[in-house]
Amino acid sequence: MKPFAYERATAPEAAATRVTDTADAMYLAGGTNLVDLMKLGVAEPTLLVDITGLPYDSIEHRADGSVLIGSLVSNSVLSGDRGIRRRFPAVAEAVLAGASGQLRTRATTGGNLLQRTRCVYFQDVTKACNKREPGSGCSALEGSHRDLAVLGTSDACVATHPSDMAVPMAALDAVVHLRRAGGDTRSVPLTDFYLLPGDTPERETVLEAGELITGVELPPPPAGAAMCYRKVRDRWSYAFALVSVAAVAATGPDGTLSEIRLALGGVAPLPWRARRAEEQLAGRRPTEEALRSAARAEFASARPLPRNAFKIDLAVDLITATVLELVGGEGR
């Protein structure tokens, strides 16, 4: 690990200004991902600005049913919050599925959203990786890619986004609140916050230099809708998703889907909102046949590699079973 400077921020403006004005400076919160990357030589900040003392560590439940989650709220606090568990259970389920209890105690909401990929070539500085070193190539295309993406990829990168929490937040139309140096603020829908790799896989989000996540807002959940998060992984504990799905669904008096939202994890470089599947299912009866057809349509643009094509069938099965579980849909 290379030497670096460390400062503890006491005010948001000072933190944002310091990171904006210092080359290769980074924010430090829980450090559960950043510190590992520093040990591997993937991240080499010249300065760490510790933001754990800033006033972004609370959960605000609002009268209209929305909630504002501070960026420094720990994953353990978030998953244990009664309001979250009652009205946004998919978020709590995703956080609990994401890591061990020890890591959840340290990891923060903002840090969870900004996790870097666990692609083995990104983490190995001796291997070519366009995300880590633009223009060097993508070793995963011909190498180990079983766990990597099938949707939204490019010839430059096939990495997946590792966050569990971001998946239900995408399904729930979450909005990310940001703060720049100088005090300017802006809000970005979570589904617009992340960028597909294209030819610039090193740029993963719309964050500008020194910009700080201050919170994540969840709008009121759809009236009468049920929701859940389901994750398929290689082992029960502490493993990243092969495929995951966050589903929000409700049926009307006639048995058709009056609400259907789907987001996927483990299959794309970002939490993937399944818009095509949602469009096909809206207003239809949730039969197994309809669900499988819509799920297949979502993967029409997939670009699987030889050892991860199985993810498509797995995702179709998971989407179908999850929605049927939520709404008690019909068989074939």
CATH number at 35 reads: 3.30.43.10
Q: Is residue 30 part of a domain?
A: yes
Q: What pLDDT shows up at residue 328?
A: 82
Q: What pLDDT shows up at residue 237?
A: 80
The predicted model scores a pTM of 0.96
Q: Is residue 40 part of a domain?
A: yes
- Say if residue 171's pLDDT is above 70: yes
Q: Return all residues near 289 (Cβ < 8 A) that are at least 6 apart.
A: 332
Report the candidate in 13, 49, 9, 57 with the shortest Cα–Cα distance to residue 28: 49
- Say if residue 330's pLDDT is above 60: no
Query: pLDDT tens digits for 210-251?
Result: 999 999 999 999 999 999 999 999 998 889 999 999 999 999
Number of domains in the chain: 2
- Report how far residue 131's alpha carbon sits from residue 124's, in angstroms, rounded to the nearest whole number: 12
Query: pLDDT tens digits for 246-265?
Result: 999 999 999 999 999 999 99
Query: pLDDT tens digits for 84-101?
Result: 999 999 999 999 999 888
Q: What pLDDT shows up at residue 329?
A: 58
Of the chain, the percentage scoring pLDDT greater than 70 comes to 98
**Radius of gyration of the chain, Cα coordinates, nearest whole angstrom:** 20
Q: Is residue 169 part of a domain?
A: no
Query: pLDDT tens digits for 195-208?
Result: 999 999 999 999 99
Q: Is residue 214 part of a domain?
A: no
Q: Is residue 332 part of a domain?
A: no
- Say if residue 332's pLDDT is above 50: no
| CA dihedral for 20, 51, 265, 325, sign (positive or negative) | negative
Q: Is residue 39 part of a domain?
A: yes
Q: Is residue 87 part of a domain?
A: no
Q: In what order do the strands lie in the sheet with 67-70?
A: 59-61, 67-70, 212-218, 175-179, 185-189
Type of residue at 28: L
- Say if residue 176's pLDDT is above 50: yes
Report the candidate in 217, 212, 215, 216 with the shortest Cα–Cα distance to residue 51: 212
- Say if residue 132's pLDDT is above 50: yes
Give the number of residues written for the chain: 332
Q: Tokens 């670096």 identify what position?
A: 4
The domain that holds 257 is classified in CATH as 3.30.390.50
Query: pLDDT tens digits for 151-164?
Result: 999 999 999 999 99
Q: Is residue 140 part of a domain?
A: no
Range of the domain at 294: 226-327
Query: pLDDT tens digits for 6-39?
Result: 999 999 999 999 999 999 999 999 999 999 999 9
